[in-house]
Amino acid sequence: MRKNILILITLGILVLAGIYYFNRLLNERQAHLAEEEPVVIGLSMGSVREERWMRDRDLFIKRAQELGADVIVATSDYDIKKEIFQIENLISQGVNVLVIITSDSEKIAPAIEKANQAGIKVIAYDRLIKNSNVDLYISYDNVKVGELEAESVLSIIHHGKFAYIGGSPSDNNSFLLKEGAMKALAPYITSDDIDLVINKFTDDWRPENAYKNMKDYLNAGGQIDAVVAANDGTASGVIQALKEKGLAGRVPVSGQDAELSAVKRLIEGTQTATIYKPISPLANKAAEFAISMANGLSPESTTTVDNGLIMVPAYYFEPVVVTKDNIMTTVIQDGFYTFDEIYKTTVR
Q: What is the CATH number of the domain that holds 45?
A: 3.40.50.2300
Q: Are residues 251 and 150 in the same domain?
A: yes
For residue 15, tell me if it sits in a domain: no
Cα separation, 288 vs 170, whole angstroms:
28
Q: Is residue 26 part of a domain?
A: no
- pLDDT, average across residues 127-136: 96
Q: Does 295 map to a domain?
A: yes
Rounded average pLDDT over 112-138: 96
* pLDDT 10s digits, 298-310: 989 999 999 999 9
- If residue 214 lies in a helix (H) or strand (E), which one and from where to where? helix 207-219
In-domain check, residue 77: yes
Whether residue 298 sits in one domain with residue 195: no
Regarding whether 259 and 234 lie in a shared domain, the answer is: yes
Is residue 48's pLDDT more than 90?
Answer: no
- Domain assignment present for residue 25? The answer is no
Q: Rounded mean pLDDT of 221-226?
A: 98
How many folded domains does the chain comprise?
Answer: 2
CA separation for the pair 198, 251 (Å, rounded):
14
Task: Let me know if residue 235 belongs to a domain.
Answer: yes
**pTM for the model:** 0.78
Whether 27 maps to a domain, the answer reads no
111, part of any domain = yes
Question: Which neighbouring-strand residues pair with 304?
Answer: 313
Domain that includes residue 210, residue range: 142-277+321-343
Task: Report pLDDT for 9.
Answer: 54
Do 289 and 254 share a domain, yes or no? no
Residue of higher predicted confidence among 118 and 4 = 118
Classify each residue of 273-296 as buried b or exposed e, where b means 16 or more C-beta atoms within 10 Å of its C-beta: bbbbbbbbebbbbbbbbbbbbbee
Mark whether 179 and 124 lie in a shared domain.
Answer: no
pLDDT at 13: 55
